[in-house]
Amino acid sequence: MTQTYPQDTLVVGLAQIAPVWLDRAGTMSKILNQVRVASEAGCHLVAFGEGLLPGYPFWIERTNGAVFNSPMQKEIHAHYMDQAVQIEAGHLDSLCAAAKEFGMTVILGCIERPLDRGGHSLYASLVYVDADGAIQSVHRKLMPTYEERLTWSPGDGHGLRTHRLGAFTVGALNCWENWMPLARAALYGMGEDLHVALWPGGAHNTRDNTRFVALESRSYVLSVSGLMRPEDFPKGTPHLSAILNDGAGLLANGGSCIAGPDGQWIVEPLVGEEKLIVAELAHRHVREERQNFDPSGHYSRPDVLQLRINGQRQSSIAFDE
User: What is the CA 254 to chain-centroid distance, rounded?
Assistant: 13
Nearest to 283 by CA among 41, 48, 12: 12
Is 0.85 surpassed by the pTM of this model? Answer: yes
Sheet with 275-282, side-by-side order of all strands: 135-140, 123-129, 105-112, 45-47, 9-16, 275-282
Q: What does the radius of gyration of the chain's CA atoms come to, in whole angstroms? A: 19
Q: Each residue of 195-211: pLDDT tens digit? A: 999 999 999 999 999 99
**Does a structural domain hold residue 311?**
no
Q: Is residue 297 assigned to a domain?
A: no
Residue 173 lies in a domain: yes
Give me the tens of pLDDT residue by residue for the chain, a chain 321 residues long: 666 677 899 999 999 999 999 999 999 999 999 999 999 999 999 999 999 999 999 999 999 999 999 999 999 999 999 999 999 999 999 999 999 999 999 999 999 999 999 999 999 999 999 999 999 999 999 999 999 999 999 999 999 999 999 999 999 999 999 999 999 999 999 999 999 999 999 999 999 999 999 999 999 999 999 999 998 999 989 999 999 987 678 899 999 999 999 999 999 999 999 999 999 999 999 999 999 999 999 999 999 999 999 999 998 888 888
Residue 3 in any domain: the answer is no
Sign of the CA dihedral 198, 263, 261, 183?
A: negative
Q: Cα separations (Å) of 120 from 111, 116, 123, 174?
A: 12, 10, 10, 21
At 78, is the secondary structure helix, strand, or coil? helix
* DSSP-derived secondary structure for 170-194: EEEEEGGGGG-HHHHHHHHHTT--E
CATH number, residue 92: 3.60.110.10
Residue at 303 is within a domain = no
Flag whether 294 is in a domain. Answer: no
In a domain, 31, yes or no: yes
Question: Which active-site residues does the annotation give?
Answer: 50, 141, 175
Other CB atoms within 10 A of residue 68 CB: 5
Q: Which domain holds residue 179?
A: 9-289
- List, for residues 264-319, the tens digit of each pLDDT value: 999 999 999 999 999 999 999 999 999 999 999 999 999 999 999 999 999 888 88
The number of domains in the chain is 1
149 lies in a domain? yes
